[in-house]
Amino acid sequence: MKENRSSNTSTMIASLFTLLAVILFIVYLAINIGLLIWSVEWIVQETLAYQEFDFYNLIFIVIPIPVGVIYVTGQWFALYFLFLVFSVLASLFYIFYSSRSDFPSYIKDVLKRNFEKIEKENGHTSSSVLRLVTIFTALLFFSQTYFILLELSGISPDFPEPPDILWLRVYSLLRASVWEEIIVRFAYIGVPMALYGFFKGKRKSKKYLLGGFGTDEKLAVYLVVISSVIFALAHLPGWDIYKMPQTLIPGFAFGYLFIKDGLHSAILLHFFWNFMNIPNLLLDIPNFENIFVLLMLFWMGVGVYYSYKYLKIFIIWMQEDSETEKKDKIEHQKEKEVKDHTAGVTIGYVCQSCGYNKAEYTKDGKLRCTRCGTESDPKSPLVQQQKKLLQSDNWPPS
């Protein structure tokens, strides 16, 4: 009884704090989305007039360091920016659309204090919205703890200076949110998984391209790790080596969201992560710094719980066999049992022709004597009678 009460109490606390974290996240996300929409006309005009050939209007790929492909200027630059904006807005719409039933259900369970149901059904991560927020809190806790440890060690990492021009800063953060997810998560997880599905003869192998196919395939685990390492390496040029861990762990998070929910979820988390300080740049909010610090501290507090939770999930996920591997092992075991299993005296087998007591199962379920090859039905009255005699206390006869 005490254990149940303790479990219900911890679930209640986690549920209430999670719900508050989600509400604050959605409000802050709405502010950033509003600022993004507001900035469209302003930034489009700037992109149309921008004629420089530098990093900001360079479309690049990652192999594994960034490699430039083509410069876009004028209307192509403006269209590229609009594509980035559209990707964020579409991601926002889709994540709430896909959670239209399970997210309100979670809120209802919390308000009705159905904490046993939440605990049983793992309600804290039951929808893509909840996963997005809880993974964000875990990332925030890790990131801030990492920087605190660096400071305590006397290490001050070098960071590239952000653009002096405000619209370029907003644009570059937006580009990182969308384009990095496309060239890393889509290219290094979605495309390989689609090829894997195609060569394996899986139906609808194209569904792997945009993610959201689940965590059953073991190959996806390795691709998440590989893509995260590539993501971290891509940040080394222009950054300090100490940036590596701080991008590697978010890479795991973005990759997990990609395969669990889809590309849209990874884009949205990356967008929120990059735009956290944008309201401070674009709005004149009194005491914003104090409000921001309090928000960060609260989310970090919630992140302590979810850091442990997701670390545990990731370790188990790395160790578990995929559903495909499990099926293959079961089939292999069945084939092995059919091929190698000998009945012997343990099931009371005696060959009706030669009296030998070892046999093997055939594919049609019969027993074949390993000496003379005579087949018999294991359910026949004669075999069953032999089994009873061999297993009785009166056998062998005196």
Tokens of 337: 């049992």
Residue 290: CB atoms within 10 A of its CB come to: 9
Residues 46-104 pLDDT 10s: 999 999 999 999 999 998 888 999 999 999 999 999 999 999 999 999 999 999 999 99
Q: Which helix (H) or strand (E) is 360 found in, with range? A: strand 359-361
Question: In this predicted structure, which of 88-92, 96-100, 160-164, 369-373 has the lowest mean pLDDT?
Answer: 369-373
**Among 143, 371, 393, 115, CA closest to 269:** 143
326-357: per-residue pLDDT in tens?
565 666 555 555 444 444 434 456 777 777 77
pLDDT tens-digit map of 218-234: 899 899 999 999 999 99
251 contacts 227 by C-beta, under 8 angstroms? yes
Predicted pLDDT at 4: 56
Structural domain boundaries of the chain? 2-326, 341-391
Tens digits of residue pLDDT in 105-146: 999 989 988 888 887 777 778 899 999 999 999 999 999 999
| Residue 82 near residue 40, CB atoms below 8 Å | yes
What would the mean pLDDT of 298-318 be, rounded to a whole number?
Answer: 87
Q: Is the pLDDT at 395 greater than 70, yes or no?
A: no
Whether 211 contacts 190, CB under 8 Å? yes
Inter-residue contact 237 to 60 (CB < 8 Å): no
The pair of three-digit structure tokens given for residue 216, joined into one six-digit string: 């059953």
| CA triple 232-238-240, angle to 5 deg | 65
Calculate ∠ Cα 138-144-145, nearest 5°: 85
Distance CA 21, CA 109 (A): 16
Helix (H, G, I), strand (E, B) or coil at 351: coil
Average pLDDT, the chain: 85
The structure's pTM equals: 0.80
Contact indicator for 347, 387 with CB cutoff of 8 Å: yes
What CA–CA distance (Å, rounded) separates 213 from 195?
A: 14
Q: Residue 254 in contact with residue 181, Cβ under 8 Å?
A: yes
Q: Which two tokens stand for residue 380?
A: 């026949």
Higher pLDDT, 395 or 214: 214
Q: What is the pLDDT of residue 161?
A: 81
Cα atoms in the Cβ-side hemisphere of radius 13 Å centred on 200: 16
Maximum average pLDDT range among 85-94, 106-115, 194-203, 385-394? 85-94
The token pair that represents 96 in the structure block? 């709430």
